[in-house]
Amino acid sequence: MPLDHYVTLGRSGLRVSPFALGAMTFGEDPGGAGCSVEESEKILETYLDRGGNFIDTANFYTNGYSEKILGDFFAARPGLRRHVVLASKFFTNLFPGDPNGGGAGRSSIIAQLDETLRRMRTDYLDLYWLHNWDRHTPLEETLRTLDDLVRAGKIRYIGFSNTPAWVTAQAQTTALLKGWTPLIALQVEYSLLARTVEGELAPLALDQGMALVPWSPLKNGFLSGKYRRDTRVTDSARTAFVGGPGEDEFTVIDAVAAIADELETTSAAVSLAWLRAREGTVVPILGARRVEHLDSNLAGLEVTLTPEHLRTLDEVSAPALNYPAPMHGALRAMLQFAGTTVDGETSAVYPPLSQSDVRY
């Protein structure tokens, strides 16, 4: 599946590549996690040459430098910007001491968007994400402001990131009831090593026709293939910040590596192919500090996992979900169906009683 075999993003007419390009690493910063302007542009050119069209950043990535690199890149190539889907995020306050410099209030959203558009040298964004939940601002204020910006032509679509499912559900319901712009996608942490999104947010997205756009689909590089039990990784800034994999994580890493060896591909490609195979529309965000990182990740488009591969990965990475998720599996079926088959789902009997045992 090439990058130019597009998918619609959620319940919208926006066509995007099956993998997005994340620009969090664009721009050198004091932490050393970013890359130079030259390397950033090489990564962009490689992604676009392969048919990619979906680029994601945020206002605070490398202190705004990421947005500026993207803006300069497209400004130097007249006519190209309108053929790509540019997304950025708001929420983070870039002005110490100013309580209205960030968050999701009306004045702060408008100010943040104006700064983003200035840095990106464009007059609109295709997709604007709320980067985090602002519990100090009424949800209606955030949604009405975003709808006003859509009507003004400054943004085209909206999405939420890192926001609780109950808040997201309330937002979507409010938008639909009031005729405001609805959410079309959720940007979430999701990988073989981070599956708790499957408790609430993923089912919500599937029900509401929202796409999932996973960040860190290789879990801080743990699923990239360079982490092995017998190999010491000294990835300077990132390893110092997040540490290394634990025993439970290595169990998953080993299973991924075994399938990668069988298919003669990389662990990164297998991990990304697993995400692509999830139910609904799932568009992982690829991060890269070098062109070869991007090339390795794009191999995930060429891998098709068998049902047995998927079953193995599902089982080895099965998450422990918070209540009430554990009540919604086999126990729910036993309590509800009482040994019958409904919609293809067959249950045992719980409790194991016969009709004659029931006390009236």
For the chain, the domains span: 7-322, 329-360
Which residues, including other chains, have CB under 8 Å from residue 293's CB and lie 6 or more apart? Answer: 287
Output b/e per residue, 217-245; b: 16+ Cβ within 10 A: bbbbbbbbbebeeeeeeebeeeeeeeeeb
Please identify, in words, the CATH class of the domain defined by 7-322. Answer: alpha beta
| Average of per-residue pLDDT across 88-111 | 96
- pLDDT band for position 30 (cuts 50, 70, 90): low
Residues 193, 222 contacting (CB under 8 angstroms): yes
State the pLDDT at residue 327. Answer: 76
Compute the distance between CA of residue 8 and CA of residue 16 in angstroms, rounded to an integer: 6
Closest CA relative to residue 84, chosen from 161, 21, 39: 21
Condensed to tens digits (0 to 9), the pLDDT of residues 102-118 reads 999 999 999 999 999 99
Q: Categorise residue 121: left if φ over 0, alpha if ψ from -120 to 50, beta otherwise.
A: left
- The reported pTM is 0.91
| Average of per-residue pLDDT across 184-204 | 98
Compute the distance between CA of residue 181 and CA of residue 128 in angstroms, rounded to an integer: 12
Percent of the chain at pLDDT > 90 equals 79
- pLDDT band for position 328 (cuts 50, 70, 90): confident
| Average of per-residue pLDDT across 76-99 | 96
- pLDDT band for position 121 (cuts 50, 70, 90): very high
Q: Name the residues annotated as catalytic.
A: 61
- Does residue 124 or residue 334 have the better pLDDT? 124
Q: Categorise residue 223: left if φ over 0, alpha if ψ from -120 to 50, beta otherwise.
A: alpha
**DSSP per residue over 214-249, as a string?**
EESTTTTTTTSS---TT-----HHHHHHH----HHH
- Does residue 128 or residue 31 have the better pLDDT? 128
